[in-house]
Structure 1
Amino acid sequence: MLTRDPAVFLQRALACAPDAGPATARAAFLVSPDGFARAAESAQDNVYMAKGGFDPGAAAAEHRALHCALVASVPVITFAGDARTPDALFPNNVFATTSGRLIVGRMRHPVRQHEADRPDIRRFFTDVLGYAETDLSTQAHPCELTGALVMDRARGLGFCGLSERCDAQGAALMHAAFGLRATFVFDLAPGEYHTNVVLALLAGRAALVCPDGVAAPDSLLRVLEQLYGDGVLTLTAAQKRAFAANAISLDPGAVWMSQTAREALVPSQLGRLQALGLAVRSVPLEAIEAAGGSLRCCVAEIF
C-alpha cells in the first residue's frame, strides 16, 4: 500500500508486526572518494554542498577512518571510486539491497547516472553473492533509493519524501522493488533534496526528524509519534544543517553519525538515544560533508 493519507497509512502500519526482516543490515559497503571534487550538476539542487574548499586528501583519510570505525557494527567493504563520478562516495542513492536482491536506482543528474553502470559492484552482488537484480536506472523517473526512501525494515514500512530527486512514480517503483508493506509519501520542503537529511529511522524503534524539512510536518510527526512514541526526537533547522538526521543504525545497539552531527545534539537528546539503547558513535567527516552529504549517505547497506 502506497499512500499520501496519514490516517490510511497508520491504519496499515500499526497492524504491521516487526517481522518483515532484520531491523539492521548484516554488512555494508562504501565507495572510496577518488576524484573528490564539487559536482556542479549535483550542486544545482543540493543546498548542503559547499561552494569551495574541497580537500581530496582529507576526504580520503576521513573515509578510511569511517570504514575502520564501522566494523565495530558490521563487516564493511570498500570499492574503488572513479574520478569521473565525484559523488560516488555516496553509494546509498544508487545501490541498495533487500534479502537476496540488489536494487539499482535512477539518479536525477547525468554525472550520478554513470555510477549505476559500475559492473564490478553489480557483479559482486549477482555473481559473488548470488543476488537477483532489480534495475530501475534505465526508466524515466528519478528514484534515488535510500536518499529518498527511509525505511523501517523490521516492519516493512517506507517514508518517501518527494523532490526533484524522486517523483511519485519513482516512489511507487521503489515501494515495489523493496517489497514494502506500506509507504507514506509526502513532499519535502522547498530546497530539500533527500529525505535522509531530514529523517532517520533507527533500528526500528527511534526516529530523528526535522519538521522544517517537510512541507506538511504535522502529518509526518503524527505518524511517527503513533509508531515510535517516546522514540521520536525532533531536530532544529541548525541540527539538520549539521547532518544530525543523516544517521544510521548498523546494529541494534548503536546509532552512527558524523562528529559535527553529534556535537549539534544537546545533552537531553543524547540521553534519550542512550535510554533507547542506542549508543551514539561518531566519526569526523568535515571534509566529506563539503560534498553535501554525511555518514548515512556514505553507507550502502547489505541485507
Structure 2
Amino acid sequence: MLTRDPAAFLAFARATAPDFGPATARAAFLVAPDGFTLAEQSAQDNRYMAEAAAFDAARASAQHRDLHRAFAGVLPTVCFAGNPDTPDALFPNNVFATGRPDAAVDPHGAPRYVVGRMRHEVRQREANRPDIRGFFATMGYVEVDLSRQPHPAELTGALVIDRARGLGFAGLSERCDAEGARLMHEALGLRATLLFDLAEGEYHTNVVLAVLAGRAAVVCPKGFADPAVADAIVALYAPHAVLCTPEEHAAFVGNCIALTPEKLWMSANAGRTLTPAHRAQLAAAGFEVGIVEIDAIEAGGGSLRCCVGEIF
C-alpha cells in the first residue's frame, strides 16, 4: 500500500501485526567527520545548518568518537573513515540503508542494502564508496542501487520506518519526490507507506518524526504541511506519542533513535530541551533516554539520528 490518504493508512496500519521483523537494529555503522566543513550545496535547502565560521572540525571529531563509544556500549557499532571530499558523509543514513524481507512471508530471505539517490552532487559522491558497499556484500546483503536513477530518494532521512510492522512515513521535499518514495518503499519491501508533504523549510522527515521500536513516536507537528498527517501518526502510536513543542523541534528532539528496545538516544542539546512531562511519557513507553554532546556535529544541519546507519 502506497497512499497519500492518512485515514486509509491509519486503518491499514492499525490492522497490521508487529511481525515484519526486529523492531530495532542488530548493529550500526557510522562515518567519521573527516574534513567536516560547510557543504555549500547542502546548505541551499537545510535551514538547520550553521554558518561556515561555526564549524569546528576537531570538536566534531572528538564528539563523534564519544558517540561511537556510547553506541558501542549497547550494540556492535563500526565506523568508516571520512573523506574531505564528502563533508556531509557523517550522516550516512541518507545514502545507505538496510532491510530484510517481510519475516511473516519470507523468514529466510536474504537481507538487502539500499543505496540512495541524493539530491546534491556533493552527497552523490558518497554513494560510490567501495568500502561500504563491499562491507555489506561480504556479509551476504543483496544490493538495491537507486543512486543511478533521477528521482531523489534520501533513504532514512526522508523515510521514517516502523520496522516492527513494515510501515513507512515518507515526507516529500526537494530531498524525496513521490517516485523516489515509491522506489524506497519497494526496495525495502514495506507493507505500507504514507506519503505527505513536509512543511515549508523542512528538508528531512527524520528531523520531525521518530518511530521508536515500533511502539512509540516523537512527532513535531509544525513539520508537517497537513495537520491531518501528524494527527494520524499520533493516533497510531497513542498513548505513546510525544508531541514536541516548538523549542523541542528546534533542538532536534525529533531526531532521536531507539537502538535497542529499552533505550533511545538523542543529542545532549535535545535532552536538555526535552520537557519533564515528555521524558516521563517516554519512560512510560519503556524507554530510558541516553544523550551525547554533539553540538559541533549539529552545525552540519543534522543531529544524532542522522549519524546512524542501522544494520538489520
Instruction: Tell whether the structures are fold-level matches, with TM greater than 0.5.
Output: yes
Deviations 1:64-88 (A, max 9, x none): 0000001222100000000000000
Displacement, 1:154? 0.3
Q: Aligned partners of 1:221, 1:139: CA distance in 2, in Å?
A: 30
Please point out which of 84, 96, 104 is paired with 2:115: 104
Question: Which residue type is aligned with residue 289 of structure 2?
Answer: V
The one-letter code of the counterpart of 2:140 is G
Following superposition, the deviation at residue 282 of structure 1 comes to: 0.3
Q: Is 1:269 the equivalent of 2:278?
A: yes
Q: Which residue identity lines up with residue 242 of structure 2 in the other structure?
A: L
Question: Which 4+ runs in 1 deviate beyond 6 A?
Answer: none
| CA displacement 1:225-268 (0-9 Å, x = unmatched) | 33211111101222111110000001000110000001111111
Q: 1:248 aligns with which of 257, 262, 273?
A: 257
User: What secondary structure, in the 3-state scheme, does the structure 2 residue paired with 1:179 have?
Assistant: coil
Cα deviations across residues 114-138 of structure 1 (Å, max 9, x unaligned)?
0000001001101x20110000000
List runs of 5+ in structure 1 lacking aligned partners.
none
1:144 equivalent to 2:154? Answer yes
Aligned position for 1:40 = 40
TM-score, with structure 2 as normaliser:
0.95
Residue 90 of structure 1, CA deviation: 0.1
Cα distance in structure 2, aligned partners of 1:88 and 1:191: 22
- Asked if structure 1 preserves the Cα contact closer than 8 Å seen for 2:219 and 2:234, the reply is no
Shift of 1:275: 1.4
Partner residue in 2 for 1:24: 24
- Whole-angstrom CA distance in 1 between matches of 2:140 and 2:191: 25
Give the aligned partner of residue 212 of structure 1. Answer: 222
Alignment match of 2:183 (pick from 161, 173, 178) = 173
SS at match of 1:212: helix
For residues 220 and 135 of structure 1, what CA distance do their matches in structure 2 show?
30
Q: For 1:1-303, what aligned pairs fall within 5 Å after superposition?
A: 1-51=1-51, 52-99=53-100, 100-126=111-137, 128-217=138-227, 219-303=228-312
> Paired residue for 2:105?
none
Q: How many pairs does the alignment contain?
A: 301
Give the gaps of 5 or more residues in structure 2. 101-110
Taking the aligned partners of 1:151 and 1:77, their CA distance within structure 2 comes to 22
DSSP-derived class of the 1:23 partner: coil
Seq. identity, %: 62
